[in-house]
Amino acid sequence: MRTLLIYPEYPATFWSFKYALKFIRKRAALPPLGLLTIGAMLPKEWPKKLVDMNVTKLNDKDLAWADCVFISAMVLQRESAREIIARCKEANLKVMAGGPLFTGEYDQFEDVDHFVLNEAELTLPPFLADLEKGCARHIYETSEFCDIRRTPAPLWDLIDLKHYATMGIQFSRGCPFNCEFCNVTALFGHRPRMKTAGQIIAELDGLYNMGWRGEVFFVDDNFIGNKVYLKAHLLPALIQWQKGSKKIPFNTEASINLADDPALMEMMVKAGFDTVFIGIETPNEESLAECNKQQNKNRNLLESVKLIQRAGLQVTGGFIVGFDSDTPSIFQRQIEFIQKSGIVTAMVGLLNAPPGTKLYDRMKKEGRLIDFMTGDNADGTTNILPVMGLDVLREGYANLMQHIYSPKHYYKRAKTFLREYRSPKIRTPLDFQRLMAVLRSSIRLGIFGKERFQYWKILFWTFFRRPKMLPLAVTIAIYGHHFRKICKLNIAQ
């Protein structure tokens, strides 16, 4: 059966890096890891094609070639997914759908023939068996969690690696914490499930042997969910793998308690990690208690960030405004924290309630749900009625974003970070493509950009004070260009 795997298009968002990717001539930040893994689970004898609409268009020839279509999507890709499904039905193709969007909203997509929901390792095999018998059901779902030690490596040869800025691999699923607004535990459970170190090394070898030399993102929602296994098995294996000619930088996501473990941070840096995303959320202790962010409570969040940065891990952070405990003073408090922390990439969003979370259930009970989530973490929208009022929340949010991403404050924050950050052990290679990015940024930002004074100031400061970090300073400048574009786009709406 000729199978077409389709990944819908992302709109321009904070994490799309759409305006930054142009400087390095890449089309997308990350490949569709879920669909690549699904491709590896489908029968080997089935011919397969993958169309990532963030990289290329979906042509009529693709649809004419296919016997069936598999589509996976995040909530953010909802509208693109609808358009794809409509085109597939016009072409009389059977449509199979899965992933977070459809797991949470399958009843909103009447034209999908079969839903393969939750973890495909458990729901795809019975679907394929029934399909072969000619008795496939409409919905396949489960409340169980799979053993990801049996999950196959992604089928990398379905994509052209050169179109992507970063590759992604998954080490674990699940998170030991239970934040009220987060749907990770609803999707993947509390107990972290891990692949073996051997699996991860094999996946990295696969990428390396295909010629990949750029950054690899460990997509785990909390990479340090099981510190014991990390220290005893995975990190030593990664440190060994990086020896010799292999020098691949890694980044991932983790909880703030990483700051409490200097040995773990040191091992991560030795293994090649240079960046970690952390959900800071808010400096308001009452709001942290409200959302059950236990790991962030009763600690000096600012000092925790500094400890991680000084260890050699750049902190990119998530922040939220609109908790019930927030007052209008939260906007200035967030500004002050973000500026003092040196968190250059600060994703600030309004509180939303994803389906399946305790927050969603509470908002529904209180009659405060007002719309579907857009899935965009930083577009200034919310699907709940905030205690402080929508107008106050939106105005405060707009002012906050305009402040932290204005060139003056953004570059000041960048300097704070560069002053604190320890130079990483392994760096993204300064190849021809990145040298061209330096040239393009010098023209676009250094000559024509409104931030040209701040741009040259940070580059000269870095050249004389932290010369090894000059490529990083250029990257930060390019990211700032993207963030300002997104900020302007969202606030204009």
State the Cα angle at 487 between 486 and 492, rounded to 5°.
100
**How far is residue 404's CA from residue 346's CA, in Å, rounded to a whole number?**
8
Q: Looking at the domain assignment, is residue 479 inside a domain?
A: no
In single-letter form, the type of residue at position 138 comes to H
Q: Please answer whether residues 169 and 203 qualify as being in contact, where contact means their C-beta atoms are separated by less than 8 angstroms.
A: yes
**How far is residue 49's CA from residue 44's CA, in Å, rounded to a whole number?**
13
Q: List CB contacts of 68: < 8 A, sequence separation 6 or more.
A: 1, 2, 3, 4, 93, 94, 95, 96
- Same-domain pairing of 188 and 103: no
Q: Token pair of 354, please?
A: 């994803």
Q: In terms of residue numbers, what domain contains 337?
A: 165-420
- Same-domain pairing of 197 and 254: yes
287-292 own/partner pairs: CB under 8 Å, 24+ apart: 287/323, 287/324, 287/325, 287/326, 287/330, 289/325, 290/180, 290/323, 290/324, 290/325, 291/179, 291/180, 291/181, 291/323, 291/359, 292/178, 292/179, 292/180, 292/358
**If you average pLDDT over residues 228-242, what whole number do you get?**
97
Element (H, E) at 346: strand 346-350
Q: Looking at the domain assignment, is residue 189 inside a domain?
A: yes
Q: Looking at the domain assignment, is residue 342 inside a domain?
A: yes
Residue 435: predicted pLDDT: 87
Residue 301: predicted pLDDT: 98
pLDDT band at 492 (very low <50, low <70, confident <90, very high): low
Q: Please answer whether residues 291 and 367 qualify as being in contact, where contact means their C-beta atoms are separated by less than 8 angstroms.
A: no
**How far is residue 12's CA from residue 208's CA, in Å, rounded to a whole number?**
30
Q: Are strands 250-254 and 215-218 parallel, antiparallel or unpaired?
A: parallel
**What is the 3 state secondary structure string of 262-325?**
HHHHHHHHHHCEEEEEEEEECCCHHHHHHCCCHHHCCCCHHHHHHHHHHHCCEEEEEEEECCCC
- Same-domain pairing of 108 and 15: yes
**If you average pLDDT over residues 90-118, what whole number do you get?**
97
**If you average pLDDT over residues 328-336, what whole number do you get?**
98
**How far is residue 175's CA from residue 165's CA, in Å, rounded to a whole number?**
27
Residue 364: predicted pLDDT: 96
- Same-domain pairing of 266 and 311: yes
Range with the poorest average pLDDT among 168-177, 273-282, 429-438 = 429-438
- Provide the CATH number for the domain around residue 323: 3.20.20.70
Residue 424: predicted pLDDT: 80
**If you average pLDDT over residues 357-369, what whole number do you get?**
97
**If you average pLDDT over residues 425-434, what whole number do you get?**
73
- Same-domain pairing of 68 and 182: no
**If you average pLDDT over residues 107-132, what whole number do you get?**
97
Q: Looking at the domain assignment, is residue 458 inside a domain?
A: no
- Same-domain pairing of 173 and 133: no
Residue 423: predicted pLDDT: 81
In single-letter form, the type of residue at position 386 comes to P
Residue 327: predicted pLDDT: 97
- Same-domain pairing of 324 and 204: yes
- Same-domain pairing of 120 and 175: no
In single-letter form, the type of residue at position 474 comes to V
Place of tokens 């495909």: 120
Sheet containing 3-7, strands listed edge to edge, beginning at the edge strand earlier in sequence = 48-52, 3-7, 68-72, 94-98, 114-116, 139-140
When the pLDDT of each residue in the chain is averaged and rounded to a whole number, the result is 96
On the question of pLDDT at 445 being above 70, the answer is yes
Element (H, E) at 400: helix 390-404
Residue 433: predicted pLDDT: 78
On the question of pLDDT at 304 being above 90, the answer is yes
On the question of pLDDT at 399 being above 80, the answer is yes
pLDDT band at 429 (very low <50, low <70, confident <90, very high): low
- Residue 70, strand partner residues: 5, 96
Cα-Cα-Cα-Cα torsion 122, 149, 271, 416, nearest 10 degrees, comes to 20
pLDDT band at 371 (very low <50, low <70, confident <90, very high): confident
**If you average pLDDT over residues 476-487, what whole number do you get?**
97
Element (H, E) at 83: helix 78-90
Ramachandran area for residue 274 (φ above 0: left; ψ -120 to 50: alpha; else beta): alpha
The residue from 420, 455, 486 where one domain ends is: 420
The residue from 420, 443, 463 where one domain ends is: 420
Give the count of beta carbons closer than 10 Å to the beta carbon of residue 285. Answer: 15
Q: Please answer whether residues 195 and 182 qualify as being in contact, where contact means their C-beta atoms are separated by less than 8 angstroms.
A: no
- Provide the CATH number for the domain around residue 110: 3.40.50.280
- Same-domain pairing of 169 and 271: yes
- Same-domain pairing of 220 and 74: no
pLDDT band at 419 (very low <50, low <70, confident <90, very high): very high
**How far is residue 142's CA from residue 123's CA, in Å, rounded to a whole number?**
7
**How far is residue 129's CA from residue 136's CA, in Å, rounded to a whole number?**
8
Q: How many distinct structural domains can be found in the chain?
A: 2
Q: Looking at the domain assignment, is residue 428 inside a domain?
A: no
pLDDT exceeding 90 applies to what percent of the chain? Answer: 93
Classified as helix, coil or strand, 140 is strand
Q: Token pair of 226, please?
A: 């099981």
- Same-domain pairing of 127 and 192: no
**How far is residue 237's CA from residue 250's CA, in Å, rounded to a whole number?**
14
Give the count of beta carbons closer than 10 Å to the beta carbon of residue 263. Answer: 9
Pick the more confident residue, 130 or 187.
Answer: 130
**If you average pLDDT over residues 347-365, what whole number do you get?**
96
Q: Looking at the domain assignment, is residue 171 inside a domain?
A: yes
The residue from 392, 420, 448 where one domain ends is: 420
- Positive/negative CA dihedral, 474, 476, 480, 482: positive
Q: Looking at the domain assignment, is residue 493 inside a domain?
A: no
Q: List CB contacts of 443: < 8 A, sequence separation 6 or more.
A: none
Q: Looking at the domain assignment, is residue 58 inside a domain?
A: yes
On the question of pLDDT at 54 being above 80, the answer is yes
- Same-domain pairing of 197 and 62: no
Residue 493: predicted pLDDT: 61
pTM: 0.96
Residue 186: predicted pLDDT: 84
**How far is residue 345's CA from residue 476's CA, in Å, rounded to a whole number?**
8
Secondary structure E strands in 19-169? 48-52, 68-72, 94-98, 114-116, 139-140, 166-169
Reported as half-sphere exposure (CB side, CA atoms, 13 A), residue 426 has a value of 26
Range with the poorest average pLDDT among 136-145, 355-364, 433-442 = 433-442
Rounded to the nearest angstrom, the gap between the alpha carbon of residue 147 and the centroid of all alpha carbons in its chain is 23
Report phi then psi at 218, rounded to 5.
Answer: -80, 110
**If you average pLDDT over residues 270-286, what whole number do you get?**
97
